[in-house]
Structure 1
């Protein structure tokens, strides 16, 4: 009986937590008139009352999807901007972060712990703290108002190093020593043992960083002045009654990519979160 009660409570909480997604998907299939009737108290000028909402659309329509996907070229421009930023950022993080995490995890050198602590401190700093210094550096490098202003700082993200570091630390030392006795070089050990055994950590870092950079808002608004360079995450900064249907649809389409990546790497993501929770 207790298990059934706990199960019911968990299901209720899950539905409550998923309601924003249900709200979004339902709105993407509603007509403009139906959305106006629901959202007018918030979006219309000089309106009174409270917002109401139907869990399911009264008259489902795909008109907003057709208009967005076939008659909104700026949507695809921003979509490919997001793909470019995310792909280059994540690839750069792997190129820089994997060797860095391996070095911190497997080699003992002076100030190892101090440097890794600095890594963690940098990871804890919010963007608002480093925004001014980053802006000045990027200005000196003539990268402002280019995608490089987003990609270059992302390549040297400390969070992916932190996640992969935990997995590399868990590789048994006996395996490394056996490979050295057999004559394997440090590069071969890294490529043939470190990367394969640390792949769960690498993949969890990829998933987490994809979700982060797919949903960037502050960095593009700060460093990109040309709207043609904006990513999809800030495609609709202003929602009005006239474009409410497109806003819901664009948000739903944007969410699909994040959901696909999340479920594809869910097991790795869980391992990464669990590993990051383990104390040094």
Structure 2
């Protein structure tokens, strides 16, 4: 009995050490990820002259010394935000374009993805497995492979160089269909059968039974999809090549020179903010979705 207690105590100490080690490693990893974000917001308040002088000295520092870092500006400035919102509304227009594309794509995915996953997971019909296999293939293929066929189809539909060229292809997301389908397969049939006893049909069963159970994974998928849509670059560059005024903000940062670094940092801070807010709002769903996926 005493030997068993010692063994359990030793295992507890070992797990505690492993937990502490994991905490330290995750803290270091979090710091590495958060430091660029923190400095982006910090440098967005630097005046133009100070941030330009600081960036110009990046290529001439001594390699034998630590790289100097500015932790606070000599004078906080909101001039760059004034430029974005008042003097140069083109940045605000591009920000609104990003919001429009992301919102429209998320609405389209909300209408298509859950229903498609529900049909693939709950209904038996001819060609279902072949259709699911095609979705898996599309999920594996990179955008560069499907780009040429997509351009051909969009030109045939007559929507090339329009916002619909960016929105419609993104509404059908093979990865999120696969993710939700795999989750729905693990939902016990007893839940739907109990609803059928009460006279619930397939549509009402989907709305009142399946969707509430899938709430965590839906929240996680929404947050991940928001990040994908918000950060897309290749699609608008190709589908809107001749209409830069319709492009989102994500494609414009590489066109900003160091002479406008203050505007670049301010624009980057505004660009990061929605993604952070979405993550904070859906963080519980993301964690719950990951945990439920592991259980299944």
TM-score normalized by the length of structure 1: 0.89
Match of 1:150 in 2: 166
1:1-280 aligned at under 5 Å gives the runs 2=17, 7-41=23-57, 48-49=60-61, 52-224=68-240, 225-274=242-291
Higher mean C-alpha displacement, 67-76 vs 268-277: 268-277
- Give the distance between the partners of 2:50 and 2:264, measured in 1 at CA: 14
State whether residues 38 and 52 of structure 1, in contact with CA within 8 Å, keep that contact through their aligned partners in structure 2.
no
User: Is 2:183–2:293's contact at 8 Å kept on the other side of the alignment?
Assistant: no
The C-alpha deviation readout for 1:176-213, integer Å capped at 9, x for no partner, is 11222332222221222122222222222221111110
SS state of the match for residue 207, structure 2? Answer: helix
Distance 1:247 1:222 in 2: 23
Unaligned runs of 5+ in 1: none
- Do 2:120 and 2:181's aligned partners in 1 also have CA atoms closer than 8 Å? yes
- Deviation by residue 1:96-116 (Cα, 9 ceiling, x = unmatched): 111111011112333433322
Displacement of 1:67 in angstroms is: 2.0
Deviation at 1:60, TM superposition (A): 2.2
**Backbone CA RMSD of aligned residues:** 2.3
Between 1:138-147 and 1:1-10, the stretch displaced more is: 1-10
Deviation at 1:271, TM superposition (A): 3.6
User: Contact 1:166–1:275 (CA<8 Å) still a contact in 2?
Assistant: no
- What SS class does the counterpart of residue 242 from structure 1 fall into? helix
Give the 3-state SS of the residue equivalent to 2:34 in structure 1.
Answer: helix
Scaled by the length of structure 2, the TM-score of the pair is 0.84
Per-residue deviation, 1:234:
1.7
Separation in 2 of the partners of 1:278 and 1:204? 16
Hey, what's the Cα distance between the residues in 2 that align with 1:186 and 1:144? 37
When residues 126 and 272 of structure 1 are mapped into structure 2, their CA distance, relative to the original with a 3 A threshold, is farther
Deviations 1:72-115 (A, max 9, x none): 21112112211111111111111111111101111233343332
The alignment covers a number of residue pairs equal to 275
